[in-house]
Amino acid sequence: MRIAIFSDVHANLEALQAVLDDFERTQPDTVVCLGDIVGYGANPSQCLNLVREHADIIVLGNHDEAAFDFSKLDEYTEVAQTSARWTAHALSEEEKRYLKSLPFKMTSDDLLFVHSTPRNPQDWEYILSAFEARLYESAFAERVCFIGHSHVPAVYHLSPNASHYSPNHRFIINVGSVGQPRDGNWRAAYGLLDTVAGSFEINRVEYDVRQASEKIIDAGLPRILGDRLFRGR
């Protein structure tokens, strides 16, 4: 079975469409979205509709939450606050009710899917190193926990001596970001797990970054959100 796992679309329709088009090539049997479908980008409704259509499993991200609940907004940067208010206005009431209905965690066999961390995901903390990943080793019973949130792809081995992906070992894997990568690579990222071959890979997909950026600026969103797409950071 091939499972495509993507995260942090951030209302970037061009990037999301490019990833969905790439599924024609990689042919996943199951599609998982790890949240932050909206926020920052100019096409929240369109992205939410596409994700609902194509993903079998969807969990909530902090920017999805910020679109229907402003109570934690003071913890966000000014740019993120502006974007959250713009997004809340752009989404329909039904779309916000749908986001509100999303779970923080989902499990499928020996896999756990969550936006931020396997313990207390609603606190929206970050896992940014192998050391931090190992602090969560006892926080979940499944073999692999897939995360997003930092927008930086990474494979963290919880088995101390492992140096590569193996179907026998435990991992926390960050699949990176579709719509706002922050690892210095502007291309949209998504993960592909093949449970038969016992392999995992991060795919990078080129998309029309100029169009996505211009839409952000035309929408009156902070210019930095459009500019940073070219840099991928």
Chain residues that interact with Zn ion, rule: CB under 5 A = 8, 36
For Zn ion, give the closer residue by CB, 18 or 158. Answer: 18
Show the tokens assigned to 67.
């679109």
For Zn ion, give the closer residue by CB, 8 or 65. Answer: 8
Smallest gap from residue 129 Cβ to Zn ion (A)? 18
Short-list 225, 78, 100, 75, CA closest to 151: 225
For Zn ion, give the closer residue by CB, 17 or 62. Answer: 62
For Zn ion, give the closer residue by CB, 9 or 31. Answer: 9
Short-list 69, 50, 66, CA closest to 58: 50
For Zn ion, give the closer residue by CB, 24 or 78. Answer: 78
**Partner residues linked to 58 by β-bridges:** 33
Residue 222 DSSP symbol: -
Smallest gap from residue 228 Cβ to Zn ion (A)? 13
For Zn ion, give the closer residue by CB, 36 or 183. Answer: 36
Smallest gap from residue 150 Cβ to Zn ion (A)? 8
The residue type of 190 is Y
Show the tokens assigned to 126.
């970050």
Smallest gap from residue 2 Cβ to Zn ion (A)? 25
Smallest gap from residue 61 Cβ to Zn ion (A)? 6
Long-range contacts of 127-134 (CB under 8 A, 24+ apart): 127/156, 127/172, 127/174, 128/152, 129/156, 130/156, 130/157, 133/158, 133/172, 134/158
Smallest gap from residue 84 Cβ to Zn ion (A)? 12
Measured in residues, the chain has a length of 233
The residue at minimum Cβ distance from Zn ion is 36
CA distance 32 to 86: 26
